[in-house]
Amino acid sequence: MGYCFVNQLNKHIENPLVLFEDEHILIVNKPNNILIHHSYYARNIKDQTLLERIKDELGIVCYPVHRLDRKTSGVLLLTKNKEDVSIFQGLFFRNEIQKKYIGIVRGHTPKEKIIDTPVKNPDTGKYKEALTFLETLQSTTFNIPVHPYSTSRYSLIRLTPKTGRMHQLRIHLNKISHPLVGDYKYGDRFHNRMYEQNFDAPILFLHAENLQFMHPFTKETINIQAPPPLVCKKVLNQV
């Protein structure tokens, strides 16, 4: 079992919801499989949203600055004042916020790779430039057969997106034939099924682990690390 698989994903024991808070912003660790808010694309999902949970548990009404897919976990920036959203979004537009993700993908990935395949906008149907940097943290082989092979190979990777297209990371990993484990839209159903059957882990293994930027009001450097889901520890400790 690879060193990074254990230490990168197993070093945290608890998963707090709130990671940082001041008078302007709230930074949270979004759980897997929860919508940030209700939307047209997820109109058939009636479960409690993240914003509803925050309001119920913390008594705070917040406004998202950026998005994470429903099945993606990790660090999410929210503002407490609606008029501040555009100020923080400006940091994204000017590439002054750095986001890093970790994920588990099918196969052994290269040590480093730049992925620049354009990504289609679902609203306009037009393709837009997209850029992702990939770094392999660890690769491993499990003695668990997955069709059509007698073993199964996976990599723990870190992703740094330089653009923010919808489903960018999932699409980019599919394009290089290393889809995320647990991705039923762009992934490999045989590997997804293996993780579900062997590890009882029906999740998308994509986690926004880090967010770093200079606070536009306080001028403080904010560097937030989000603990990964505990199911990752459960999965990796069984191997």
Q: What is the tens place of the pLDDT at every residue in 78-95?
A: 999 999 999 999 999 999
- pLDDT confidence bin for 121, thresholds 50/70/90: confident
Closest CA to 162 of 71, 104, 101: 101
Catalytic residue among 47, 56, 69, 84: 69
Strands 73-79 and 206-214: parallel
Asked whether the CA dihedral 61, 64, 68, 73 is positive or negative, the reply is negative
**Coil, helix or strand at residue 233:** helix
- Spans of all domains in the chain: 3-237
Q: What is the tens place of the pLDDT at every residue in 172-213?
A: 999 999 999 999 999 999 999 999 998 888 899 999 999 999
Q: Which residue has the higher pLDDT, 16 or 74?
A: 74
Confirm whether 200 is a catalytic residue: no
Whole-number average pLDDT of the chain: 88
Query: Domain 3-237 carries which CATH code?
Result: 3.30.2350.10
The distance of Cα 94 from the centroid of its chain, to the nearest Å, equals: 21
Q: Where are any strands of DSSP class E within the chain? A: 18-21, 25-30, 63-64, 73-79, 98-106, 112-115, 119-120, 127-128, 132-142, 152-161, 206-214, 221-225
How far apart, in whole angstroms, are the C-alpha atoms of residue 229 and residue 206? 10
- pLDDT confidence bin for 16, thresholds 50/70/90: confident
Q: What is the tens place of the pLDDT at every residue in 128-145?
A: 999 999 999 989 899 999
